[in-house]
């Protein structure tokens, strides 16, 4: 993930990164790599047994007290808690995020650690305008996109015009999609929920809305590919095209909601 601009900044200027105490685990001197581009949080006020500092947003409870995006890798050594017997907490560079801060994240095929982010389980025959899939809620995919990574339909991009709980409606398939074929699911531009991947650096593809639980306010979705400059996804321009080696992005803001406060606006959750 990266910050690309801020609606309240002069000329849209993004917030400036700064150094802040960071340890990538809550209860131990971190020995886990945390990646540049990962979301950051602060622990709850009742979880400060080792002091207060910024840490990895994916730790339980994930996405509570989010405060920024890490701008450098945290390595697996030389990381310390505030109550370490010998060493001090290391400063890491972080860009703060506010409700006006626009973030861009990729629907990557692999997360920063190399774990798959794609989806499988969609089945459709050549020429069909519906494919089968198991989805919790109807209509949540309208305005999204289906991009096939491998198999007979590899490289094809299809606009999603509807979904039921067992089907996805899209433009006619140029070729079949088999249940094991890898696909990317690009959520509708103004969706309120995404699924951040395990490293909290990108977006995991999910066609079932029950798996998209990270609160955002979506703004727009984008494509880039060899021969195609980065541009907003457009049904009239991109639907049904075969676009090899495409990359997809979502731009959104994160706002504090209910049990998931944004630190700079809502303060820290008590517990």
Per-residue model confidence as pLDDT tens digits over 155-200: 999 999 999 999 999 999 999 999 999 999 999 999 999 999 999 9
Which among 62, 67, 9 is positioned nearest to 42, based on CA atoms? 67
Residue 35 binned pLDDT confidence (cut-offs 50, 70, 90): very high
Residue 134: pLDDT band (50, 70, 90) is very high
Number of domains in the chain: 2
Regarding whether 130 and 79 lie in a shared domain, the answer is: no
The counts of H helices and E strands in the chain are 2, 17
- CA–CA dist 84, 157 (Å, integer): 52
**Exposed, middle or buried: residue 142 (CB in 10 Å: 0-12, 13-18, 19+)?**
middle
Range 58-62 average pLDDT: 94
Both 210 and 241 in one domain: the answer is: yes
Separation of alpha carbons 20 and 70, rounded Å: 10
Considering the domain architecture, whether residues 122 and 95 belong to the same structural domain is answered as: no
Mean of per-residue pLDDT scores for the chain: 96
Asked if 135 and 65 sit in the same domain, the reply is: no
pTM higher than 0.85, yes or no?
yes
Residues 218 and 263 both lie in one domain: no
Q: Are residues 93 and 180 in the same domain?
A: no
DSSP state letter for 125 = -
Residues 48 and 117 in one domain: no
Q: How confident is the model at residue 39 (pLDDT cuts 50, 70, 90)?
A: very high
Task: Say whether both 246 and 269 belong to one domain.
Answer: no
Whether residue 159 sits in one domain with residue 260: no
Is residue 188 within 8 A of residue 31, CB to CB? The reply is no
């Amino acid at each position: 993930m990266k910050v690309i601009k801020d609606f309240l900044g002069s000329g849209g200027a993004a917030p400036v990164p700064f150094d802040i105490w960071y340890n990538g685990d809550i209860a131990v001197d971190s020995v886990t790599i945390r990646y540049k581009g990962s979301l950051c949080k602060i622990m709850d006020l009742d979880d400060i047994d080792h002091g207060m500092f910024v840490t990895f947003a994916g730790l339980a409870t994930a996405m509570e007290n989010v405060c920024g995006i890490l701008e450098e890798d945290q390595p697996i050594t030389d990381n310390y808690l505030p109550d370490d017997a010998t060493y001090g907490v290391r400063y890491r560079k972080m860009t703060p995020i506010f409700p006006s801060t626009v973030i861009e994240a990729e629907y990557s095929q692999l997360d920063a650690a190399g774990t798959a982010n794609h989806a499988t389980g969609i089945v459709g025959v050549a020429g069909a305008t519906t494919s089968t899939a198991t989805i919790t809620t109807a209509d949540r995919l309208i305005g999204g996109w289906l991009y096939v990574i491998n198999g007979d339909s590899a490289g094809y991009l299809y606009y999603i015009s509807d979904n039921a709980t067992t089907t996805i409606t899209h433009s006619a398939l140029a070729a079949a999609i088999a249940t094991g074929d890898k696909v990317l699911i690009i959520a509708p531009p103004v969706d309120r929920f995404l699924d951040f991947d395990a490293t909290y650096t990108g977006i995991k593809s999910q066609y079932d809305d029950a798996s998209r639980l990270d609160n955002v306010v979506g703004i727009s979705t984008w494509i880039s590919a060899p021969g195609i400059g980065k541009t907003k996804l457009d049904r009239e321009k991109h639907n049904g095209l075969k676009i090899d080696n495409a990359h997809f992005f979502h731009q959104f803001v994160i706002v504090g909601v209910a049990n998931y406060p944004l630190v700079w606006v809502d303060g820290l959750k008590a517990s």
